Amino acid sequence: MSHEPRIGVYVCHCGVNIAGVVDVKRVAAEMASEAGVVLSREYKFMCSTPGQEMIIDDIQSHGLNRVVVAACSPRMHEGTFQGACRKAGVNAYFFQMANIREHDSWVTLDKEEATRKAIALTRAAVRRVRNHEPLETRQVEVRKEVLVIGGGIAGIEAALTVAESGNHVYLVEREPTIGGHMARFDKTFPTLDCSACILTPKMNAVGSHPNITLMTSCEVEEVKGFVGNFDVKVKRKARYVDHDKCTGCGACVEKCPVKVPSEFDEGLSKRKAIYTPFPQAVPNKPVIDRAACTYFRTGKCRLCERFCEPKAIAFEQQESTQEIQVGAIIVATGFEFYRGEALSWYGHGRYPNVITALEFERLNNASGPTEGVLRMADGRVPQSVAILHCIGSRDKNYQEYCSRVCCMYSLKFAHLVKEKTGAEVFEFYIDMRSPGKGYEEFHDRIREEGAHLIRGKVGEVTDLAVNPEEQGRLIVVAEDTLAGSRLRVPVDMVVLSPGLSAHRDSKVAQLLKCAVDKNGFFIEKHPKLAPVDTATDGVFLAGCCQGPKDIPDTVAQSQAAAAKALALATRGVVEAEGRTACIDPEVCAGCKLCVSLCPYKAISFDTAKEISVVNEVLCKGCGTCAAACPSGAAQARHFKDVHIFNEIEGVLAL
Amino acid sequence: MTNDPKIVAFLCHWCSYTGADLAGTSRIKYTPAVRIVRVMCSGRIEPSFVLKALKEGADGVLICGCHPGDCHYQEGNYKALRRFHMLKEMLGQFGLEGDRVRLEWVSASEGDRFAKLADSFTEEIRRLGPLAWKRVGNESERRVA
Amino acid sequence: MAEFMRCTSPMLEVAQALLEAGGEELKTCYQCGTCTSVCPWGNLIEFSPRRFIETARLGLEGFEEATWTCVQCRMCQDRCPQQIDIPQIFRAVRGVLSEGGSTPPALRVPLAGLRGEGNPWVEPREKKTAWATKNDVPALAPEHEVVLFACCANEYEARNQRDGVAVAGLMKAAGVSFGYLGKEGTCCGDLIATTGAESLFSLLRKTNLNALGGVSARTTVTISPHCLNAFRNRYPAVLGMTFRHVTELWDELLREGVLKPSRGGAARVTYHDPCYLGRHNGVYEAPRNVLKAIPGIELVEMAHHHERSICCGGGGGGAWMERPKGERLGDLRVMEAVSTGADTLVTACPYCVQMLEASVLGLNLEGKIKVRTVSELLSDSIAQGGVE
């Protein structure tokens, strides 16, 4: 293969995306005079089939052995063009891309400047590709098992989809039960299906599926490895109940003397110190809340133990760690409702009849604290209810983004209030967002039912009455922006509809090396074309961890993530990185600096030859050994000093 | 415009390069003075890359990696940080302003930040003026070459 | 054509003029109406900042009238989900209208006064320092560490002179090395800036920058929150000086034990947050700390306090405009104060004093409640007891 470089350069117009700013003809003409360049062309869409075929034809008819494409980001189409090279018999690593779209035409105003920059970037690619070497990629087997993190509707759906295919799933959930937020909702919009009725069969299916290992009260602690071969450490919190022995009879719960606020019911009801979060929990076996348990606090009690016939109470239980091996990971860690200071501005925590959406869901739920009766703090049924949209949402002081679901769930609340109490409903919105199948029709239905929908964001909720009618009530102050009038609406109850927030306390993103956006939501690989992939190969996203979405979208995305994980498992192999490190045995002085620096323990010391040796199966190609090597023996393939130097010369040549 | 400073930016593939791509897809404009060279990890960057860039005519060098804790290769960015401190000292010994080289963390979601950084760093380099190798003499030329 | 007569076309030239005058921020308004619902005027009159923004951004008729109503209290800005500087939009529109000669008649007197005599009362400039001479307030000298910057109201207006004297007395009692910036300085221009009189404001600012630029003291203490705001937020930071409000100074001197209040004051007081001390500059606790430190004083809060405080009506040029009874924000505030059962309404701004006292008089409540400043109450509790 020791032949002179014969380079083909292709400058892409990308329609007007590049050609509208960069003089592509000039770029191509400039490249023609670079050493080793045999031909230099520009073309409308290089990534199109004719574009790729042009490369293949040129390779064959002009004997090209190097290819440079100046177009978009290599993160977009490097694989496409490498494929074309391979097809024509040229090693994929004899290809180099110059990013003149994302890094140039889209970010530069001045056309002359943009053209000069494009010439520089393309020249860098041309000079670099001359010194490229052919690299071989290896294939690595993919483990069939899939890890799903999070047991809400997203995780449940993903786990069931994978399990149904015959592959094994580990479903890790940090709470004592799966079900997530959906288990706490009363009805679901726009069909008004009972949330529990459609969810619990799926929860039970997870609990009993032979292909699913359900790991509740567990958290992922460490993730190592790479696509197809992840080694995961899962921490199992102490439950103090041996679930292998427990029959779920509930005698312990009955006898426990301690009552604390129930998280599941938003503190509106009490639970015991030993408890199952709710009657349909999966697994339907109790755990002990160490912080609340009298025995753990004082050393005395053990009532539950005394009444447990199968002897399942295990006060001595310790936190433990389990290691699992999987080929793919689906992140389904969900969301939390916004709980910030916007709530208190509207009187939450100050006025007992100002409640949040989640409190409203629990109050309406037949298995909730009031058995589904919508009551005020003093037990009366409200005669009028205000529902306030966008609490903390679309608000640069809190969360700038729209959470997509709040308009719809707030309309659902209007319906439930009307249906259960006949009360007047005043719903305050900024813009009504009901894009979805049957959503606008639902919006229409709520108007028909007589809810007063008022366009205006509420400024204040107060109990300062200015007339007898307002006395003893909550007054909602807003501008009806359509009528142009400032309103004071006295009501009995105020429901605050907060948006959805990312889990701020979650370490999952960090463990998986996934990026999160400024709001804390996971970033997908491409906002349109790779919505469930992440920048980490083999890690996929499902549900609200990626951004606020409703149940139908969550389920669809979960099934998509499962399909992606299964596609990987079905293919069975992945290409391993060809751009690994290598150490020149002639140059290596045996200082072992690289051995200690390698994060993957991929470099070992050959004591016989007294040199360091790279294990290419373990190497991920970060290049830190190359950067540190004092003798220059360690080199990062495809990112050798000479390549970087060529590139530096190129980018500075104009 | 040819008097404008030239800046070489070394960006790690996983976070910062992706962030620079995001600046592009978001159509955020920034100075064309900044020319990007991709490396897989900021831990790959050697002081010789920086010196080479300065020798070839760059007036400043920007190094960007993943935020602490986010490195795709576990802790390459920490290694970059350590080498960076060493490098700054070296520049001083060469009689160059340490501020001509800057290390910043740019995540994949910080397109806006990258663009602002490119502009503000270029502005700073413009203030420092063109790189004056003359004071350094031929000795460093030999070292870099 | 007749059937289209009732349609209006956007007047984009007008809109453009507003944008260029500094109204840029109105572009991002999404018309939620939060501003209108939190605006204190909503309790008294029809006034919609939201509609003002919507009409202004298309240059439609109707925004002119609303332009001069805003008191710049900043309540809307703090609550705006788009973080729009709504007061700035009003200022921009005022600037444009003023250039076109549509300044309200009520503002012409203070404008002329400031232009000619450097104070809005059209008092002769020579009288500026008379109050200081009469009360032995030391004039600024190179050895002084602190500049005392008094409000025009302290200098030219009898009621607020009492506050100025109390401030100077306390500084002396505490042994602060201070001097009063007299004739070299002029009105800070803060209030007039809110009426859109940009060029006049620049003139005043230039005079003060020259005066302060030459002094060696590194701290300036202001009696009025407006002066504080002007220095902190409207003047360039070139002076390299620290600007503090008197209540911040008192708070510090009390904590350090330099000032020791010994005599009890009024039994029950309530504190009115001046908009330019609270919302504009974030000083809420210092004045309250001072009141709490005075023996025998019980501090009660009104229904609206801290960041929810209601404007006295004096901001944004309101102090110079006459409003009919029933349309006075000050009245609202005084009634809130009375309903707390307090016998003293305390504040920390000369304009608040002026507005609130006018409302006490107008409402015939002189027997029921007095308006005092934080400095006056502190001075009462120290004057005879003295400083050990």
Structural domains in chain A, sorted by start: 7-135 (3.40.50), 138-237+319-335+509-575 (3.50.50.60), 251-307 (no CATH), 336-501 (3.50.50.60), 577-637 (3.30.70.20)
Task: Read off the amino acid at residue B36.
Answer: I
pLDDT above 80: residue A409? yes
Q: Find the residue in B nearest to A117 (Cα).
A: B32
> What is the residue-averaged pLDDT of chain A?
95
pLDDT above 60: residue B3? no
| pLDDT tens per residue across span A34-61 | 999 999 999 999 999 999 999 999 999 9
Q: Does C30 touch chain A (CB under 8 A)?
A: yes
Let me know if residue B118 belongs to a domain: yes
Q: Does C4 touch chain A (CB under 8 A)?
A: no
Task: Read off the amino acid at residue C349.
Answer: C
Taking the C-alpha atoms of residue C146 and residue A529, their distance in angstroms, rounded to an integer, is 64
Residue A578 confidence (pLDDT): 84
List chain A residues with CB under 8 Å of B14: 513, 535
Mark which residues 528-567 of A lie under 8 Å from B by CB: 535-536
Residue C24 confidence (pLDDT): 85
Please identify every stretch of chain C with a pLDDT value under 70, giving residue numbers as ranges: 1-5, 238, 265-266, 383-388
- Cβ atoms of B75 and B36 within 8 Å: the answer is no
- Cβ atoms of A250 and A281 within 8 Å: the answer is no
Residue A35 confidence (pLDDT): 94
Instruction: State the average pLDDT over residues A98-118.
Output: 96
A353 to chain C nearest CA, in Å? 19
Residue among A430, A435, A420 nearest A189 (CA) = A435
- Cβ atoms of A392 and A342 within 8 Å: the answer is yes
Chains B and A touch (3+ CB pairs under 8 A): yes
Mark which residues 77-116 of C lie under 8 Å from A by CB: 79, 81-83
Looking at the partner chain, which of A121, A579, A645 has a beta carbon nearest the beta carbon of B40?
A579
Neighbours of B128 (CB within 10 A): 15
Q: Does C31 touch chain A (CB under 8 A)?
A: yes
Instruction: State the average pLDDT over residues B85-104.
Output: 90
State how far Cα C12 lies from the chain centre.
Answer: 34
C51 contacts A484? CB cut-off 8 A? yes
Residue C388 confidence (pLDDT): 36
Taking the C-alpha atoms of residue A499 and residue A409, their distance in angstroms, rounded to an integer, is 11
pTM over 0.90: no
* Residue A139: pLDDT band with limits 50, 70, 90: confident
Does residue C149 sit in helix, strand or coil?
strand
Structure tokens at A302: 């053990």
Task: Give A338 or A1, the one with higher predicted confidence.
Answer: A338
Looking at the partner chain, which of A515, A579, A649 has a beta carbon nearest the beta carbon of B56?
A649
Chains C and A touch (3+ CB pairs under 8 A): yes
A477 contacts C42? CB cut-off 8 A? yes
Cβ density class C225-237: b for 16+ within 10 Å, e for less: bbbbbbbbeebee
Taking the C-alpha atoms of residue C287 and residue C293, their distance in angstroms, rounded to an integer, is 10
Residue C2 confidence (pLDDT): 56
Lowest mean pLDDT among A503-517, A560-574, B6-20, C223-237: A503-517
Residue C3 confidence (pLDDT): 63
Residue A201 confidence (pLDDT): 96
> Running DSSP on this structure, what letter comes out for residue A540?
E
* Residue A376: pLDDT band with limits 50, 70, 90: very high
A169 phi and psi angles, rounded to 5 deg: -125, 135
Structure tokens at A45: 């869409």
Side-chain half-sphere of A124: how many Cα atoms within 13 Å? 27
Q: Does A647 touch chain B (CB under 8 A)?
A: yes
Taking the C-alpha atoms of residue C112 and residue C125, their distance in angstroms, rounded to an integer, is 13
Structure tokens at A360: 């409203």
CATH architecture designation of domain C2-99: Orthogonal Bundle (1.10)
Residue among A225, A221, A226, A287 nearest A253 (CA) = A287
List chain A residues with CB under 8 Å of B44: 622-624, 626-627, 636, 639
Residue A423 confidence (pLDDT): 97
Q: How many structural domains does chain B have?
A: 1
pLDDT over 70 percentage in chain A: 100
Instruction: State the average pLDDT over residues A433-443.
Output: 96
Structure tokens at A406: 């709040």
List chain C residues with CB under 8 Å of A458: 34, 37
C33 contacts A481? CB cut-off 8 A? yes
**Which residues on adjacent β-strands are paired with residue A324?**
A232
Lowest mean pLDDT among A163-167, A360-364, C63-67: C63-67
- Cβ atoms of A565 and A164 within 8 Å: the answer is no
Domain interval for residue B39? 7-142
Residue among A169, A257, A267 nearest A209 (CA) = A169
Cβ density class A382-395: b for 16+ within 10 Å, e for less: bebbbbbbbbbbbb
- Cβ atoms of C67 and C93 within 8 Å: the answer is yes
Q: Which option is the CATH number for C258-382: 3.90.1150.220, 3.40.50.10700, 3.40.462.10, 3.40.50.720?
A: 3.40.50.10700
CATH number (domain holding residue B51):
3.40.50
B32 contacts A116? CB cut-off 8 A? yes
List chain A residues with CB under 8 Å of B40: 579, 621-623, 636, 639
Chains B and C touch (3+ CB pairs under 8 A): no
Residue B1 confidence (pLDDT): 41
Domain parsing of chain C, residue ranges:
2-99, 105-253, 258-382
* Residue B145: pLDDT band with limits 50, 70, 90: very low
For an interface test with C, the pick among A390, A486, A488 (most C C-beta atoms closer than 10 Å) comes out as A486
A510 contacts B14? CB cut-off 8 A? no
